[in-house]
Chain A
Amino acid sequence: MKDSPTSRYAFNPNSEVRLLSDGSGLAIYDGYSCDTHFIHSKKDQSALPALSTVPQEITPTFLVEEFGMSKLAAQHTIDLLIKQKVLGEIS
């Protein structure tokens, strides 16, 4: 999937996203498959102020800045979630 760094993605309408309180990542409920997906933060949890609000949109830059991912890992995570129909690109 070819995306520009500025591409934005939203969770599909039947998803539910939870910010894990210790800053370890996001848990995403996929309303279509009933599966649960995770975005694992690479940041040192003790160094966090964790995110205070659940993001409504995801961008590669967001994952790099907030979850400490490499650009490659961020794009791979987004590609995977698009493939699983958890995320959709905002046009």
Chain B
Amino acid sequence: MIDVNIGQYHFSVESKIEAVNNAIDIIYGDVPAQDLPYDFKVRLVFESLVRRFIKPQISFYSDQHSPFKPLPVSQAPALLEWGMNWCVAAHEYSKLIIHSAVLVKDGKAILFPALPGSGKSTLTAYLGLSSWSTYSDEMAMIDPVTLEVSPLYRPVCLKNDSISLVKKWHPNAIFAPVCKDTQKGDVAHVKVMDWQNYTQLSPVPIVAVVFPKYDAQSDLTIFQLSDLEAFNVLSKNAFNYNVLGRNGFDTVDNIIRRTKNFEIRFNDVREVDAFLTEDILSASL
């Protein structure tokens, strides 16, 4: 059993796959051992003896649930990260969980909900390895009462060309090994903060919601969204919106009443950084 502590949740991971254990050590190896109860017990296992030796495949289990189809063993480290995301998204009902990156600076959070291929993770890795704190690459964990967003100790999942791009921007960044030919293409997880920095983080208020869209042909273009557009997109990006019912509705309503909401198209992450810092953070109280 390997302990994986992601800050708010504690996983027990059973795996005999060296690449998985190696990736855990790279990403979570600096977390000190703590005597905490487990929130989730997960396993990565071969489904059969045949699939252990012939075109080996691996399955993810959380207790007795296996939410994904088996994948080639070479993708096991990525499967573990996706499985851990699933555990949180499928079982956490005390917070509104929005499929969104969360970046924080000066005690103010900006949410980045986005579709796959939007450049969200590339932007998150760039900012998170620069002067921002990455509260999450995948899930905004929002308290319905305080409306504050909490940090998770997780890596950023980069795909395809963004892997080499982030390595070029941040040559000293720590990467888990690349998983080739997954359903998302080549995937690598990059560590965007160390445990010492994570322990300094606390829940913070959300000041803006920005829907990013990478467009190689477009300089930074900014569109202000109406409350209705922001409400619609934010609620559609929430994993547990319908489960929370009226509480989810109220939470989204309360968020958009307090935030500025934008859609941006960009081809340069540095321009986005300047926009966020100078136009959003500086203007918010």
Q: List A residues at the B interface (Cβ < 8 Å).
A: 16, 18, 20-22, 24-25, 27, 29, 31, 34-36, 38, 40-41, 45
Contacts and interface: CB of A to CB of B under 8 A. Distances in A.
Interface in B118-156: none
Interface in B222-264: 226-229, 231-232, 235, 241-242, 245-246, 248-250, 253, 256-257
Interface range, B side: 10 to 19
B246 A16 contact: yes
B246 A29 contact: yes
A22 B231 contact: no
A38 B232 contact: yes
A16 B226 contact: no
B238 to A, nearest CB: 10
A-B pairs with lowest CB-CB distance, top 3: A24-B226, A20-B227, A24-B228
B247 to A, nearest CB: 10
Contact of B228 (A16, A29, A31, A40): A40
Contact of A36 (B226, B235, B256): B235
A34 B245 contact: yes
B227 A22 contact: yes
Interface of B: 226-229, 231-232, 235, 241-242, 245-246, 248-250, 253, 256-257
Contact of A34 (B228, B231, B232, B242): B242
Nearest to B244: A34
A76 B242 CA distance: 26
B120 to A, nearest CB: 23
Contacts of A45: 226
Contacts of B241: 36
B242 A35 contact: yes
Given A20-B256, A24-B226, 6 more contacts: A21-B227, A34-B242, A36-B235, A36-B241, A38-B231, A38-B232
Contacts of A35: 242
Residue from B228, B248, B253, B257 having most chain A Cβ neighbours under 10 A: B228
A31 B246 contact: yes
Contacts of A24: 226-229
Nearest to A14: B246
A47 B256 CA distance: 21
A63 B235 CA distance: 24
A9 to B, nearest CB: 20
B249 A22 contact: no
Contacts of A40: 228
B231 A27 contact: yes
Nearest to B224: A22
Contacts of B246: 16, 29, 31, 34
Nearest to B235: A36
A16 B249 contact: yes
Contact of A20 (B226, B242, B249, B250): B226
